[in-house]
Amino acid sequence: MKKIFAVFLSVLFVVSAASLLVSAGPITQDSQGVDCVDFLDFSADTTSLWAKYNEETGEWEQNEGPDDYGDIFVINGSNYNQPIDENGIPIAPALHIYEAYLENASWSITENGEVFHFEVTGENTAPGVGFVIDEYRKTNMEIGAESGSNPRAEYVKIRVRNYSSATRFTFGFITNSTNNFHFVSATISDLMEDMNGKKYVSGSGEWETYIFSMRDINVATNYEDLLPENSEGMPDSRWGGQLNELLIFPFGFDVENGTGAYPGAAIDIDYIVIGSLDYVTNYKSELEIKEESITSLELVSTPTKTQYYVGETLDLDGLELKATYADGTTETLNSASTSVNLSTAAESTPVTLSFGPYSVSYDISVTGIEKLEVIEQPESTVYELSTLTDGFTPEGYKFQVTYSDGTVNSEITESMCRYTGDISSVGQKTITANYYGLTTDLNIEIIDVTGLEIETPEETYRYKDTLSESDFDIYYVYNNGTKKLHGGDDTMTGLDITVTCDTKTPGDVTATVVGTDTERDLTFTTDVIVHVETPTEMSVTSLPNKTTYGVGESLDTLGMRVALVYEDGTTVNMDEDDYRIRFDSNSPGEKEVRVVSTIEGLDLEARFTVTVDGSITPTNPTTPTSTTSGSSDSDGPSIGLIIGIVAGVVVVVAVVVIVIVVSKKKKKAE
């Protein structure tokens, strides 16, 4: 069957290469000018642009283009040589192979080039693949918000058959605004529910369709809180700019709580289309159109594999279905939507194959399990409560099952089981591992932080030093008495640490360390003594710009710098609030200015001289007096000045009264 389809696709490629490779440009515009792309419809003709079947290896690979088009390489993590057409223009779409994401994963093309099948073959928390959308940044797709005067592509529609228990379908994307055409984690976006309230369906062999705003699911995901916040404190989406590449992680990205990828997880993708809401809503693939026009479905040959063990996945290799359409044409299919129970032992279990409204079936046998046991345990069975908010996630366990026919399978990993038990509180716990109805118990301990322990730093601090968590060795103290270093490799709990400490006053002072976990409403506070070094002197390191004054003029501190001097000769500038200035400008002459510390326990001062010139008209005159100031030039007006002001006010009031009396007399005389 694979060879038949390979010949079919090869012929199709030869026929279409001349036209498609020359004009390959999947980006179009709707009536509103919004860019739309449908190449991930995985139809036979567009798939032939980037995919080919290797008859020698029996695997699908990226199509590198005809041999006479020159040296063309597969895009991977070490190069970005996009396939080119006969005119040297890069072809879009193209497959970008990320080795890490494709580790223990495989993909193939089924149903005569209509369906992209993706399957997990081993351990990988983020299996996925990327598709280049533009022609190596020559033809760009504008994405963003559809609303507004300049609408952009915002919406996505996908049609998938999710055979796995994964509860999310994750996207990543690359644009000119995401780290200059590089994939960044801020673009991670989880589809868990679409815009119509439809939850993502797991464990189904039927086609499911979802429509959603990529901006909305990007904001809702906000992976590791990487999205920037707007003026209202809400995260902004990264879905915007010129779309270069779309990455798909069909079982979620970096999911470690047992709801993501696992060996045997599989999915079929009919299409992923991007554009306006109207475009994606009304989009139909060639496969959907065929399903609507089918008039009969016939089982030509059953799959080769008909005997299964509980827990295995369905293998349709060898299947042939004959579909007849309304126009009289027929087509041979090698896969279809499926419905089968592989979780329960039975001598005869029906497999139902559906295409559109028509179905056929055949029978298989399923051998059950007699025993489930743990054959390997992790070095530690202690778990921190903070890591269990999304469920129990064991690591290091290995299970073995014995089937009813005596066959033993010792390759059952922890991700293949489902777990139940109390994980909401600390203590010794019994967790039940369930593998298709067979269970075994795991004995674990759950611990949580009950306080902080801080080691006093040997370092000495100085005036206005700012302390942070990096200044301390902070240990979490757990309910069982164990301690773990904050940020250590074996510490799974993470608290937000803040440190407050007033380092103005020399000597032993108290630093307060607070650890919080807002999601779990936890706060731990611990005080620790730190030493603040005492300076040896105060010094005016920069004189004021103005050093000559008129009589009665206050000191202008512009340009003046005052510092504390330490034993090793280093200086630290002081805040103006931490010293007071004493300056007497009552009479001409050379005058001493005293700068006196106001810091408690720091009895230091510095001095310098300025000139008071009697011939100068003061720019800021006051009644001549001795002045004292901190952040300002004086302590305030003198008593004499206050008396003068009061006397002046009295005179003004008296004059006003006299004027009023005279005015009344004049009016009376008239």
Residue 146 CB coordination number (10 Å): 19
Average pLDDT, the chain: 84
Q: Do residues 593 and 607 make contact, with C-beta atoms less than 8 angstroms apart?
A: yes
> What's residue 98's pLDDT?
85
Please report which confidence band the pLDDT of residue 4 belongs to, taking 50, 70 and 90 as the band edges.
very low
3-state DSSP call for residue 12? helix
Model pLDDT for residues 268-317, shown as the tens digit of each residue: 999 999 999 999 999 999 899 999 999 999 999 999 999 999 988 889 99
**pLDDT at 538 > cutoff 50:** yes
Q: Which of 56-65, 215-224, 419-428, 570-579 shows the lowest mean pLDDT across its residues?
A: 56-65
174 with 187: CB under 8 angstroms?
yes
- In the sheet with 294-301, reading across from the earlier edge strand, the strands are 294-301, 320-325, 330-333
* Higher local confidence (pLDDT), 334 or 324: 324
Give the pLDDT of residue 647.
44
pLDDT range class, residue 456, cuts 50, 70, 90: confident
Q: Is 323 exposed, middle or buried (0-12, 13-18, 19+ CB in 10 A)?
A: buried
Residue 497: what residue type? I
What pLDDT score was predicted for residue 539? Answer: 96
Distance CA 535, CA 397 (A): 60
The answer to whether 234 and 156 have CB atoms below 8 angstroms apart is no
Distance CA 599, CA 589 (A): 31
How far is it, in rounded angstroms, from Cα 603 to Cα 598? 8
Over residues 653-667, the mean pLDDT reads 40
| Dist CA 310 CA 315 (whole Å) | 13
Give the tokens for residue 213.
Answer: 């705003």
Q: How many residues does the chain have?
A: 670
Query: Which CATH superfamily is 26-39+73-80+92-282 part of?
Result: Galactose-binding domain-like (2.60.120.260)
Position with higher pLDDT, 304 vs 13: 304
| Local confidence band at 633 (pLDDT 50, 70, 90 cut-offs) | very low
The residue type of 30 is D
Contact 263, 415 (CB under 8 A): yes
Q: Which residue has the higher pLDDT, 6 or 137?
A: 137
List of residues 6+ apart from 524 with CB closer than 8 A: 449, 450, 451, 452, 495, 514, 515, 516
Residue 15: is its pLDDT beyond 60? Answer: no
Name the DSSP letter for residue 651.
Answer: H
Nearest-5° Cα angle at 54, 6 to 103: 125
Residue 664 in this model has a pLDDT that exceeds 70: no
Q: Are 512 and 501 in contact (CB under 8 A)?
A: yes
User: Which amino acid belongs to residue 11?
Assistant: V
For the chain, the maximum distance between any two Cα atoms, rounded to a whole number of angstroms, is: 134
pLDDT for the residue 416: 83
Q: Is the pLDDT of residue 646 over 70?
A: no
Mean pLDDT, residues 560-564: 97
pLDDT confidence bin for 71, thresholds 50/70/90: very low
How far, in whole angstroms, is CA 63 from its chain's centroid?
33
> What DSSP state is assigned to residue 248?
E
Distance CA 566, CA 332 (A): 89
State the Cα–Cα distance between residues 397 and 514, nearest whole angstrom. Answer: 36
Rounded mean pLDDT, 249-253: 96
User: What b/e readout covers 228-257, taking b as 16+ CB neighbours within 10 angstroms?
Assistant: eeeeeeebebbbbbbbbbbbbbbbbbebbe
Out of 2.60.40, 3.30.1450, 2.60.120, 2.50.20, which CATH number does the structure's domain 449-532 have?
2.60.40
Phi then psi for residue 558, to 5 deg, are -60, 125
- Tell me: pLDDT of 579 over 70: yes
pLDDT of residue 195: 96
| pLDDT tens-place string over residues 146-167 | 998 899 999 999 999 999 989 9
- What one-character-per-residue DSSP string does 452-521 give? EEEEPPS-EE-TTPPP-GGGSEEEEEETTS-EEETT-TT-----EEEEE---SS-EEEEEEEEEEEGGGT
Tell me which H or E stretch contains 665: helix 639-669
Tokens of 109: 């093309």
pLDDT at position 19 = 31
Q: What single-letter DSSP state applies at residue 253?
A: S
Q: What are phi and psi of 367, to 5 degrees?
A: -85, 135
Alpha-carbon distance of 599 to 575, in angstroms, equals 11
Q: Which residue has the tokens 């700068």?
A: 595
Nearest to 427 by CA among 440, 451, 443, 415: 443
The answer to whether residue 56 scores a pLDDT higher than 90 is: no
C-beta separation of 595 from 585 below 8 A = no
Nearest to 130 by CA among 285, 288, 272, 281: 272
- For the stretch 329-346, pLDDT in tens is 999 988 889 999 999 999
- Return d(Cα 183, Cα 196) in angstroms, integer: 29
Per-residue tokens: 218: 């990007």
Q: For every residue of 280-346, which 3-state class applies, written as one string?
A: HHCCCCHHHHHHHHEEEEEEEECCCCCEEECCCCCCCCCCEEEEEECCCCEEEECCCEEECCCCCCE
What is the rounded CA–CA span in Å between residue 134 and residue 56? 31
Q: What is the pLDDT of residue 63?
A: 66
Q: Both tokens of residue 60? A: 């699908």
pLDDT score at 594:
96
Return the CATH fold of 369-447. Immunoglobulin-like (2.60.40)
Token match 């009536």: residue?
A: 31
CA distances from 546 to 590, 626, 661 (A): 14, 18, 51
Please give the distance of CA 195 from its chain centroid, rounded to a whole number: 21
pLDDT at site 332 = 92
Identify the residue with better confidence: 627 or 85: 85
Determine the residue type at 540.
Answer: V
Helix, strand, coil % in the chain, rounded to nearest 5: 15, 40, 45
pLDDT at 86: 64
Extract the tokens encoding 428. 């010794």
Q: Is the pLDDT of residue 628 over 80?
A: no
Classify strands 141-143 and 266-275 as parallel, antiparallel or unpaired: unpaired
CATH of 291-367, picked from 3.60.20.10, 3.40.920.10, 3.40.50.300, 2.60.40.3630, is 2.60.40.3630
What mean pLDDT comes out for the span 109-125? 88
- What the block records as the tokens of 50 is 């980037």
Which two structure tokens, joined as six digits, stand for 660? 């009023």
Distance CA 600, CA 526 (A): 25
CATH class of 537-636: mainly beta
| Per-residue confidence (pLDDT) for residue 89, from 0 to 100 | 61
The Cα–Cα gap between 88 and 18 comes to 13
Average pLDDT over residues 611-620: 83
What pLDDT was estimated at residue 514? Answer: 97
C-beta of residue 494 within 8 angstroms of C-beta of residue 224 = no
Yes or no: say if 620 and 554 are a contact pair by the CB < 8 Å rule.
Answer: yes
Model confidence at 88, pLDDT cuts 50, 70, 90, reads low
Kindly state the average pLDDT of the residues 84-92.
62
Percentage of the chain with pLDDT > 90? 60
